[in-house]
Structure 1
Amino acid sequence: MVIETPETAQRAPAKGRILDTANILFYQDGILNVGVDRIIAQSSVTKATFYKHYRSKDNLILEYVKSQRSAVETQVQSVIDNAASPHDAVLGLLEGVAAELTKPNFRGCPFANVVAEFPDPTHPVRQLIAEHRDWYNEALYELMRGAGHPFAGDAADELMLAKDGALVGGNAGDTIAAGAAMARVVKRVLAEAVTV
């Protein structure tokens, strides 16, 4: 899942190319499998330019996670803002996840992939991901509360787990089965809500 961010146009061209290249390579091949020299070569910059903008691979990794987070949060907020109701917003969000499963270069959830490579929960990238997950879960909670679900927190947790499961399961196995299972959970959770 390579997501363009709103900041892309505001970055220096070389800095933007480096991050755009990292977005593709880190997602497709894994962060630990991609070296700085490969990023430099594929983004057509010099070593000096890379280090001028990022100073280290660790800083680029943080920027990668921040750019993924920013893009997902922007997309989620857009779906919420454009939905006619909380119910429709939840359907829109989960339809977006289902669409990810069918993309040609789909390789699962970028955040789950990073977590698998960085097991230490105190690592800065893990903290960014934890903050993102809290934000996403809170957005789902507010939607389910707005839809009149009697247990909005539990519903948000179930939707979050269904989303995670579809992205991880779709990467590891059958994308159709993963999407269908997620849809069943979403349908059940939404049916429990009392439309207000």
Structure 2
Amino acid sequence: MATQSPVRGRILDTAAFLFYSEGIRAVSADRIIADAHTTKVTFYRHFRTKEDLVVAYLQDQSARVRAAAGQLSADPCTGLLQLAEAMGAEACVPGFRGCPFINAAAEYPDAGSPVRGVVRDHRQWLHTEVSGRIAQLGAARPGDVADQLLMLRDGAMVHGYVADPAGVSASLISAGRAILAAAAP
């Protein structure tokens, strides 16, 4: 893998902060260029369009999540618990604005857009990760149980943003355990 240039990294870091804190469509390419202390020529050398930058931002977010998931326990139950704890803790951090993938999907309604493609790929990876662990626990329909847990996770992400995040982690874990108990062999 080629090393990312410092300028490209600075543009991407600036965009990630602004996209997450203010919304993707609310932030112009000119704003990113100014805040990243670069020029339009340099910006467009690295990203042909703002949409290319959004795709790179989401791919970077997905890579970070995947790297964190690689640190989870191999034990399926412990790994799922660690995942829920991490998601619940994330929802309690100052500046939390929900899931960047859900946010991006809301801002890009065209299912055929490259942005939605990255969202879809990330969601499929997450579903595979969760359903694989559920299958290891012996649940009869791991894909269906994963759907339920991911809907619960999505609700927790939204709740953590629009409501008081206190208790999100404990509620997410409690509800997730109930779903897993109902699916137990």
Normalised TM-score (structure 1): 0.87
Match of 2:107 among 117, 122, 126: 117
- Compute the RMSD of aligned alpha carbons: 1.8
Deviation of the 1:72 alpha carbon: 1.2
Number of residue pairs the alignment of both structures matches: 185
Distance 1:128 1:84, change over 3 A: closer
Deviation of the 1:71 alpha carbon: 1.3
2:70 is paired with a residue whose SS is: helix
- Tell me whether 1:107 sits opposite 2:100 in the alignment: no
CA distance in 2, matches of 1:84, 1:51: 42
CA contact (8 A) 2:85 2:169 kept: no
The residue number in structure 1 matching 2:141 is 151
Match of 1:170 among 160, 170, 176: 160
Deviation of the 1:165 alpha carbon: 0.7
CA distance in 2, matches of 1:133, 1:84: 21
Distance 1:15 1:180, change over 3 A: same
Q: Among the aligned pairs, what percent are the same residue?
A: 39
Deviation of the 1:193 alpha carbon: 5.8
The residue number in structure 2 matching 1:3 is none
CA contact (8 A) 1:18 1:50 kept: yes
1:187 is paired with a residue whose SS is: helix
Deviation of the 1:78 alpha carbon: 2.3
The letter of the residue matching 1:19 is: L
The residue number in structure 2 matching 1:59 is 52
The residue number in structure 2 matching 1:17 is 10
Structure 2 unpaired stretches of 5+: none
The letter of the residue matching 2:48 is: R
Greater than 2 Å deviation, 4+ residue runs: 176-181, 189-195
CA distance in 1, matches of 2:28, 2:19: 10
